[in-house]
Amino acid sequence: MPRSTTPRWRALLAALCAGVLLGFPAAAGAGSGGVGPGGAAGASPTVAGGKAKLLRSGLAAAPDNAPAAVKRAIAAGNAIDRAGYCTGGGHRNWRSRCYDCSGTVSYVLGPKGAGILDSPLPSGAFRKWGTRGRGSWITVYYNGGHAYVVIAGLRLDTSQPDDGADGPGWSKDVKAGLVNGPFRKRHYPGL
């Protein structure tokens, strides 16, 4: 599994600083390895069971029993939930003010999220990523013109967020918007 290029001490320091600035105990963000809402390092809320939950805020809560990579992916999705949409967004670097569909998927799978993708990919390039089929926790749906990801039962997409805003957002409706299809499915082994 690829590792983030950020030194561990830097990630820990960022998590501790975020905890102090946001009023959380220092341990709340330490060790999570992910990013929280607004881009600050830290953990997202969790819920009991094996499915993520869409919160009233439009953010997602990770399942308690999910692997760490899944919790980090959900935290990364929460961090960019309020970002806008722009073509090519998220492809020049991992952090952007706006994201397109594949930039969104790349961000949550990359070093700021699950840590299972080394560099951003355009939609069609997901055909060579990972393994065919649906994953247990994370499934990427792609074709030559669109991509989205389902993480622990919630969809993160730029075309179907439940909050009605443009750009990345979470949705409970995994099958909505398949007019952009047909889609193929890929997953990372073990997830």
Residue range 71-122, pLDDT digits in tens:
999 999 999 998 999 988 888 766 788 999 999 999 999 999 999 999 999 9
CATH code, domain carrying 66:
3.90.1720
The Cα 80–Cα 167 span in angstroms is 9
- pTM of this prediction? 0.75
CB of 160 closer than 8 Å to CB of 114: no
pLDDT score of 164 = 60
Residue 161 lies in a domain: yes
Taking alpha carbons only, the member of 81, 71, 73, 68 closest to residue 171 is 81
List the structure tokens of 150.
């389902």
Is residue 14 included in any domain, yes or no? no
pLDDT at residue number 19: 35
Structural domain containing residue 142: 47-187
111 in any annotated domain: yes
Q: Summarize pLDDT for 149-183 with one digit per residue, the tens.
A: 999 999 999 987 655 667 899 998 877 665 567 88
The answer to the question of residue 26 being in a domain is: no
Residue 5 located in a structural domain: no
The answer to whether residue 9 is domain-embedded is: no
Q: Per the domain annotation, does 182 fall within a domain?
A: yes
Give the H/E segment covering residue 186: strand 184-187
Written in H, E and C, the secondary structure of 116-183 is CCCCCCCHHHHHHCCEECCCCCEEEEECCCCEEEEECCEEEECCCCCCCCCCCEEECCCCCCHHHCCC
Using one digit for the tens of pLDDT, what is the confidence trace for 11-56? 433 333 333 333 333 223 322 333 333 443 356 789 999 999 999 9
> What is the rounded distance in angstroms from the CA atom of residue 25 to the CA atom of residue 115?
25
Residue 91 confidence (pLDDT):
85
Residues in Cβ contact with 57 at an 8 Å cutoff, skipping those fewer than 6 apart:
none
Q: Domain count of the chain?
A: 1
What was the pLDDT predicted at 10?
38
Residue 8's contacts (CB-CB under 8 Å, 6 or more residues apart) are none
- 21 in any annotated domain: no
